């Protein structure tokens, strides 16, 4: 029995579709979260889930969810959900963020060909080859050789502008997180003009090995400084 052209094309599409998902590589990082800057909240007050997924087309999807839990949730309910899509170099293609209970929604699409950023239906031009978010940088750096005094330069999409960021690799140090005790490499910004929303800055501690696990992340926000310490890693 011969397959019709339509049936053949349908089967071919389903095969490619399923193949792309079967070849996806997903890693989940689960963190305990501390928040400094709020006098009523101390210690572990929340959790963070970072999901990095690489598909067969060599694009990356990143889902981030930060939320307060338990007593902190009663005192200060807060949920920040971010969905990011990047190309094979971790340069932004899209960025969507929802913050509750403020009901803030940010939707960004990046037109890399025409060098335009569409942010909540408003258009902004950019002139660099690549554009990053702090979270896409976290994963990009896991694929780099990190040597003491190395510097990495990025164009960061902040709340309203594109900012220059230089991250420098500092000395290795032993740190303890819920996931264990590790020799780590610390990266911190040294650019003077790097200011994300509410003067936010990011620092990252990676395990000093081939895995380069993001052990600890320090990130400023509008409610205080988030300190995220790795608790669990899941690979699907």
**Confidence at residue 35, expressed as pLDDT on a 0 to 100 scale:** 80
**Confidence at residue 212, expressed as pLDDT on a 0 to 100 scale:** 95
- In the chain, which stretches have pLDDT less than 50? 1-3, 5-6, 8-22, 39, 193-200
**Confidence at residue 45, expressed as pLDDT on a 0 to 100 scale:** 84
**Confidence at residue 30, expressed as pLDDT on a 0 to 100 scale:** 97
**43, 74, 179, 186, 202 from 214: Cα distances, Å:** 20, 29, 11, 10, 12
pTM score, whole prediction: 0.81
**Confidence at residue 11, expressed as pLDDT on a 0 to 100 scale:** 46
Q: Which pair of tokens denotes residue 2?
A: 């011969």
What per-residue string of b and e applies to 225-234 under the rule 16 or more CB within 10 Å gives b? ebbbbbbeee
d(CA 163, CA 101): 28
Closest CA to 213 of 170, 181, 168, 171: 181
Domains of the chain, residue spans: 24-235
């Amino acid at each position: 029995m011969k397959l019709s052209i339509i049936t053949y094309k349908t089967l071919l599409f389903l095969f490619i579709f399923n193949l792309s998902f079967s070849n996806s590589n997903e890693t989940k990082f689960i963190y305990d979260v501390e928040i400094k800057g709020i006098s009523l909240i101390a210690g572990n007050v929340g959790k963070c889930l970072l999901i990095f997924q690489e598909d067969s087309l060599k694009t990356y999807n990143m889902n981030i969810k930060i939320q307060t839990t338990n007593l902190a949730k009663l005192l200060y309910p807060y949920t920040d959900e971010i969905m990011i899509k990047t190309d094979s170099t971790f340069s932004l293609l899209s960025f969507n963020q929802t913050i509750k209970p403020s009901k803030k929604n940010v939707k960004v699409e990046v037109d890399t060909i025409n060098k335009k950023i569409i942010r909540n239906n408003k258009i902004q031009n950019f002139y660099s080859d690549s554009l990053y978010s702090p979270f896409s940088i976290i994963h990009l750096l896991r694929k780099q050789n990190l040597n003491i005094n190395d510097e990495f330069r990025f164009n960061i999409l902040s709340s309203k502008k594109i900012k220059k960021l230089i991250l420098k690799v500092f000395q290795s140090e032993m740190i303890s997180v819920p996931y264990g005790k590790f020799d780590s490499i610390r990266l911190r910004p040294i650019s003077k003009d790097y200011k994300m929303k509410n003067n936010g800055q990011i620092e990252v501690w990676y395990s000093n090995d081939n895995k380069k696990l993001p052990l600890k992340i320090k990130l400023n926000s509008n409610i205080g400084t988030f300190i995220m310490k790795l608790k669990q890693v899941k690979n699907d």
